[in-house]
Amino acid sequence: MASWDRKREFVALDLGTANVVAYLGGQGIIYNEPSTMAYDVHTNTVIASGESAYEMIGKTNDDIRMVVPLVDGVIADLDAAKDLIKIIFSRIKLSDILKNALVVLACPSGVTELERSALKQVVSDMGAKNVLVEEEVKLSAIGAGINIAIASGHLVVDIGGGTTDIAIISAGDIVISRSIKVAGNHFDEEIRKYIRAEYNVLIGIKTAEKIKIEIGALTKIDNGRTFRAFGRDVISGLPREVVISPDEVKNALLAPFSKITDLIVEVMENTPAELAGDIIRNGITICGGGALIRGIDTYFESIFQLKVTKAQDPLLTVIEGTKEYEKQAEKWLEVVEMRDSREYNIK
């Protein structure tokens, strides 16, 4: 049986489509940067990662290949995902402590068992003996303050960068879940499409993201604030400026959010009756970066007539959830040992 002692370390890694966050017990968050990498095309070596690579988006030449390892909640480039994990661990000098550490890897629900095993193997190859892989939506629920251990249904909507995961959680685990590839990156693309259709101006993906962050809303905003965006005129090919209002951004966001709403309805329709009663009492909890869009709680409340709660820090709910695993590390070490034993016996 595993035993936990003060000499052991706790490491948590949130592998998100948009950002990767690393947490080290006793120190806090030690890495929080975009999930972006730049490769030399000729040597296939990493020349930049994280924030420095993100700043290169849309500004590179043909000798540089930009890669995002996780796209739409699945691993699009497994080798890049492995490189990213290695870079993070080497940058924060974790390789020396991994042997005695409990490592929790948070992955999108769309990641397959094969991909989970591959990521787990990367961390194991770096010296970690105790690796636990968990779904982000489950950790988000814990990080949002929900006591998932009790037999009471909670509806969690985790709007990330690549996917929106919707789950009913009760008695310690996920009862029913659905995932849709409509989330932060998709919102950015819808804003780009809207501006191209309305103004014949093509803007970059980073500009669209800034528009979403600064004036994105699902309800009417009366502060009169606008956003001055620069792009390329599709007809003339020349640089051009356009001024975008919050109402225009709202119009661009309503279509993708209607798809999320439809999926929430589908989850509710497949929820057992007793748990459905719990949802009426507990309401809906929203987390992930998408929860930061203004008026999102009012939007969902008006549709479902339920209480909607936004997580206190939506971007970090996954990492906050892993801290509960740190508190019960001895228990989870035993879980890891049992899982590894089953896998070994199967093999």
Is 212 among the annotated ligand-binding positions? Answer: yes
Is 81 among the annotated ligand-binding positions? Answer: no
Give me the sheet containing 46-49, strands edge to edge. 46-49, 37-40, 64-67
Question: Looking at residue 306, what DSSP letter applies?
Answer: S
Is 211 among the annotated ligand-binding positions? Answer: yes
Is 197 among the annotated ligand-binding positions? Answer: no
Is 78 among the annotated ligand-binding positions? Answer: no
- The interaxial angle of helices 246-269 and 296-304, nearest 10 deg, is 40
Backbone angles phi, psi at 175, to 5 degrees: -90, -45
Is 250 among the annotated ligand-binding positions? Answer: no
Is 145 among the annotated ligand-binding positions? Answer: no
Is 163 among the annotated ligand-binding positions? Answer: yes
Helix residue ranges, H only, the chain: 51-54, 78-91, 113-125, 136-143, 184-199, 205-215, 246-269, 273-282, 296-304, 317-327, 329-346
Is 291 among the annotated ligand-binding positions? Answer: yes
Q: What are the CA-CA distances from residue 270 to residues 141, 230, 278, 281 (Å)?
A: 20, 45, 14, 18
Q: What are the CA-CA distances from residue 190 to residues 114, 163, 181, 307, 315 (Å)?
A: 32, 15, 13, 28, 21
Is 138 among the annotated ligand-binding positions? Answer: no
Distance CA 320, CA 323 (A): 5
Give the residue numbers of the binding site for ATP: 17-19, 161-163, 209-212, 289-292
Give the residue numbers of the binding site: 17-19, 161-163, 209-212, 289-292
